[in-house]
Amino acid sequence: MAAECMLTLRDARAIADAVDTPVFVYDLDAIRQRVERLHSTVASVAPFGFTLRYAMKANSCLALLQVLRDLPAPINLHIDASSEYEVLRAMRAGFPASRIQLTSQFPVQNVAAKFVQQGGSYNACSLLQLQRFAADCAAAAASSSYSTLQSTTSSSSILSSPPHVCLRVNPGLGSGGTNRTNVGGPASSFGVWHEQLDEALRIAHQHSVKITACHSHIGSGTDPTTWARAADLTLALVARMPDVTTVSLGGGFKVDRMLAADPIDMRVVAQGIADRLQNFYTLHKRKLHLELEPGTFLVAQHGCVLSRCVDVVSTGAQGYTFVKLDAGMNQVLRPSLYGAQHPIFVLPRGEEERKPPAADGDVCLSSSGATITATEASCIFVGPCCESGDILTPSPGDPEGLAPRQMPFMPQPGDLVVVGGCGAYCSAMATGNYNSYPLAPEVVLLPNASPRQQQQHEEGRMWRVARQRQTLEQVLENERPLY
């Protein structure tokens, strides 16, 4: 079944009237439920314990992080951070360091003093990172005073002796929705290449660092069969790492933003992992605690961009009808980058104005007054940037191809348009201030806690602005004039 629009017409109008468009909207309650379901599905079968991390690179909105931080036991959601800035952001959102793991492509300096001494865990993603971590720990242990990333934090050192570290491995196999989301195998720079494991073990031994966890993440949008093979390869490496007690199999669980239902059954995936951990125990007599760190799977389907059609242009009978929105690559880069597919819904201005699916011969009026035939209700949706790549409906997997969408009626300037599947890797990954457009605001739909709110829900969801629209002053604030 095709994905449905997450906003009612009433809510969309209320939000657009109050904060204007484009605006990100996230359904916090739906995300909470999704996290709870995934946690209970995996925790109920994981034989030796389970920790769920949220890969905050997917969406680092403060309001969302706060909801995730406060999920009740037994969830105790942890964070996968991909830079020291994400670590800081998670801590500012109230996550203790002990619930954060840093997995960064960038070899962060002084990670022990800054973060691990406060209880955070570090995932070394290269031999250099491992070496540097060992040196940092030695320096931090030698020094009685250390700075903290959070100036307000005054925790005492909890650096274990010997220091513990997680090792990210590249198991030799990758997968992903596209080559750009594939982060495993020989064409990927992520993690220690599996053939260099002995070198990693030697470095750890030489510097008295204990590798107690092993991590692999092979890509986003990975199909379950490849994912299971990667899990097998990772466990084969863990068998050679005697101190490892935790295995993190990353994220990457497939979501099809165009569909209402998940393309994978997480109960089957979870059981597959549980069986592997049980077999590992039978063979090696070692109980492995399991970690997973999805981003997409938890948030992608519960966010959207509410936008407006600002123009409609046609390139004639042999060409296309382009529906221009006030939202595009500045908010949703994935189509331009990967040829990713997002559902698009045009909201009627009023029931009476809703046109039936266009039939050959119908005519509509474009903003310029030119007539556009009804066959052009098949639309290419584009964004407002001066960039031919600013396109929301490319061919699947091919950002350079154009794939017209059949819409039930021809959008017209002023129509509200919802781009779905924008909860993950949209706000967090957008092209920011390109063309000097300000960052779009973020609005969160709130849970309906009380019966009164429930009643209001029937009249319209409660919502709140979680991030305001950027002002031009904020766009320019770090610039310094030459004269």
Ligand X SMILES: Cc1ncc(COP(=O)(O)O)c(C=O)c1O
Q: What residues line the site for ligand X (CB under 6 A)? A: 55, 58, 80, 103, 183, 217, 220, 250-253, 293-297, 424
What's the min distance (Å) between Cβ of 254 and ligand X? Answer: 8
Give the residue with the Cβ less far from ligand X, 297 or 381.
297
Give the residue with the Cβ less far from ligand X, 164 or 215.
215
The helix/strand/coil state of 42 is: helix
**Residue 427 DSSP one-character state:** G
Give the residue with the Cβ less far from ligand X, 111 or 377.
111
What's the min distance (Å) between Cβ of 297 and ligand X? Answer: 6
Classify the phi-psi angles of 82: left when phi > 0, otherwise alpha if psi is within -120 to 50, otherwise beta.
alpha
Query: Under a CB-based contact definition with an 8 Å cutoff, are residues 68 and 54 in contact?
Result: yes
The helix/strand/coil state of 101 is: strand
Other beta carbons less than 10 A from residue 255's beta carbon: 22
Q: Give the residue from 238, 232, 401, 435 showing the smallest Cα distance to 329.
A: 435
Give the residue with the Cβ less far from ligand X, 302 or 324.
302
Strands 23-27 and 50-55: unpaired
What's the min distance (Å) between Cβ of 123 and ligand X? Answer: 8
Angle at 336 between CA 349 and CA 364, to 5 degrees: 30
Instruction: Measure the CA–CA gap between 407 and 361, rounded to whole angstroms.
Output: 16
Give alpha helix (H) positions in 109-159: 111-114, 127-142
Q: How far is CA 279 from the centre of its chain?
A: 32
Q: Give the residue from 446, 321, 316 showing the smallest Cα distance to 376.
A: 321
What's the min distance (Å) between Cβ of 360 and ligand X? Answer: 42
Give the residue with the Cβ less far from ligand X, 188 or 321.
188
What's the min distance (Å) between Cβ of 364 and ligand X? Answer: 39
Give the residue with the Cβ less far from ligand X, 115 or 409.
115
Q: Which helix (H) or strand (E) holds 232?
A: helix 224-238
Q: Is 142 exposed, middle or buried (0-12, 13-18, 19+ CB in 10 A)?
A: exposed
Give the residue with the Cβ less far from ligand X, 229 or 355.
229
Name the closest residue to ligand X (Cβ).
251
What's the min distance (Å) between Cβ of 89 and ligand X? Answer: 16
Strands 192-193 and 164-170: parallel
Query: Under a CB-based contact definition with an 8 Å cutoff, are residues 101 and 53 in contact?
Result: yes
Query: Under a CB-based contact definition with an 8 Å cutoff, are residues 312 and 363 in contact?
Result: no
Give the residue with the Cβ less far from ligand X, 332 or 377.
332
What's the min distance (Å) between Cβ of 256 and ligand X? Answer: 13
What's the min distance (Å) between Cβ of 424 and ligand X? Answer: 6
Q: What are phi and psi of 123, to 5 degrees?
A: -110, 105
Give the residue with the Cβ less far from ligand X, 212 or 296.
296
What's the min distance (Å) between Cβ of 103 and ligand X? Answer: 5
